A and B are shown apart, each in its own frame.
Chain A
Amino acid sequence: KAGVTQTPRYLIKTRGQQVTLSCSPISGHRSVSWYQQTPGQGLQFLFEYFSETQRNKGNFPGRFSGRQFSNSRSEMNVSTLELGDSALYLCASSLAVGARTQYFGPGTRLTVL
């Protein structure tokens, strides 16, 4: 079974731009979570989606948003990029909300110049 895939793997943007990242969960997994990982703050939870609905949200500004499609694929969007948004963005899937084990993708490395 294929793992979680994320596209693109690397991205360079400039301040003020917006970016959309994509995540395809493991086949059969219906819950998708997004995390931001930086050297200073570590891995921080952004949000979780299940059945196209946001079920849980971390403490990030409204510039960070996401959505989930009927096939469980998910996208996250960051608008008005800031230098501090440079990070590794990780997507994780699980069978369902409440399933404890998360399966992570390789991440998208975003650099904001």
Chain B
Amino acid sequence: SQKIEQNSEALNIQEGKTATLTCNYTNYSPAYLQWYRQDPGRGPVFLLLIRENEKEKRKERLKVTFDTTLKQSLFHITASQPADSATYLCALDEDTGANSKLTFGKGITLSVRP
């Protein structure tokens, strides 16, 4: 069966460290993989998109890798800050055509302590 796993429900780290969040999937062939951030009581906010033929994408302190052989994406936040505390969702998009249907993981809640 199809499954998206985000490695843990919660991740606690010290301010200034690098947070690494994992997204594993089985029985999917995503053309794109996206990461979103969700704060309590709010809708998800798009962070980064990476295509199947890209290995890595960066944006400021954020970095995403995508390994279609391992069926895994890693999301890194360097020099983490308490303001980075939120739930992070990965989303797979298998469609390469006009129709886009995102399938989300359940998310990882990151807590950055001062």
Contact = CB atoms under 8 A, between A and B. Distances in A.
Interface residues of A, number: 26
Contacts of B89: 42-43
**How would you classify the secondary structure of chain B's contact residues: helix, strand, loop or mixed?**
loop
B104 A106 contact: no
Contact of B100 (A90, A99, A105): A99
Given A42-B105, A43-B104, A106-B41, A101 B46 contact: yes
The interface centre, meaning the residue of B45, B95, B101, B103 with most chain A CB atoms within 10 A of its CB, is B101
Contacts of B44: 43, 90, 102, 104
B49 A101 contact: yes
B100 A48 contact: yes
Given A102-B102, A106-B42, A42 B49 contact: no
Interface string A77-108: 00000000000001010100111111111110
A36 to B, nearest CB: 11
A100 B34 contact: yes
Contact of A56 (B32, B43, B101): B101
9 contacts: A4-B43, A43-B89, A48-B100, A90-B43, A90-B44, A92-B43, A97-B99, A98-B95, A101-B46
Given A56-B101, A100-B49, A104-B43, 9 more contacts: A44-B104, A97-B98, A97-B99, A98-B98, A98-B99, A98-B100, A100-B32, A101-B34, A107-B42
